[in-house]
Amino acid sequence: MKKIDNIVIAIDGPAASGKGSLAKKLAAQLGYDFLDTGSLYRRIALKCIENGVDLANKEEIITLARNFEEELGNYYDDSALRNDNVGSTASKIAQILDVRAVLVEFQRNFAKNAEKGAVLDGRDIGTIICPDADIKFFVTASTQERAKRRHKELQSRGINATTSAVLAEMQERDARDAIRLNEHLAPNHEVNIIDTSDMTPSEVLDTALKIVASFTNPDS
């Protein structure tokens, strides 16, 4: 029989590719639960910044992450997480496998416990967190376009940054995140690739909804 409950949708992709807005809208449209997994890394990163943790001190970061585990389900202020310093620090602490390990169970439980369905977006959802996800997306866009989007986003929040600085930060972060992104191209991971460079957010949503519909209603 066709699976209709607890459908898991994994959305991965690089920074500012549009995966977060897609994940959020897809979840709202389908009535599924939504988890922005990047915010988990960002929350730990912000704690490191606030506590003045030396990023070369792995043990201190791991201890902080382990202590943070019990706070994972708590409310947090998303706007405090959205600047590039937090994003860049998040990508550094995300390199530490013991930090990633702290977050695995929370993410898997989130997917498992969703009643109707769950949409999770991040970097390793389709490969590590939910390798058995029902539907996998890899959302991408050119580096130039992603830097342009991030720059516009920062400006709208009143944060001053030059386009070249945003582009440089993006390239640096891409390089750090690259190893995990490559895993999505492995032949054993069936994945729907959406290049959003020349697409509006609503075109991206429509494309994804059609793919979801062909899974949930294969006969329609």
Nearer to ligand CDP, 108 or 216 (CB): 108
* 124 forms part of the interface with ligand CDP (CB under 6 A): yes
Residue in the shown chain whose Cβ atom is closest to ligand CDP:
38
Closest CA to 7 of 124, 114, 121, 129: 114
Stretch of 37-45, 46-54, 65-73, 210-218 contacting ligand CDP, by CB under 6 A:
37-45
Nearer to ligand CDP, 148 or 216 (CB): 148
* 47 forms part of the interface with ligand CDP (CB under 6 A): no
Tokens 């991408």 sit at which residue?
140
* 17 forms part of the interface with ligand CDP (CB under 6 A): yes
Burial of 124 (0-12, 13-18, 19+ CB in 10 A): buried
* 43 forms part of the interface with ligand CDP (CB under 6 A): no
Structure tokens at 143: 């580096």
* 174 forms part of the interface with ligand CDP (CB under 6 A): no
The whole-angstrom separation of Cα 62 and Cα 190 is 33
* 181 forms part of the interface with ligand CDP (CB under 6 A): no
* H/E element, 145: helix 143-156
The whole-angstrom separation of Cα 55 and Cα 38 is 18
Tokens 């640096």 sit at which residue?
172
* 15 forms part of the interface with ligand CDP (CB under 6 A): yes
The whole-angstrom separation of Cα 182 and Cα 156 is 32
The whole-angstrom separation of Cα 90 and Cα 184 is 21
Stretch of 59-67, 181-189, 194-202, 207-215 contacting ligand CDP, by CB under 6 A:
194-202
Among 25, 196, 208, 212, binds ligand CDP (CB under 6 A): 196
What is the binding site for ligand CDP (CB under 6 A)?
A: 13, 15-21, 37-38, 41-42, 87, 90-91, 94, 122-124, 149, 153, 173, 177, 196, 199-201, 204
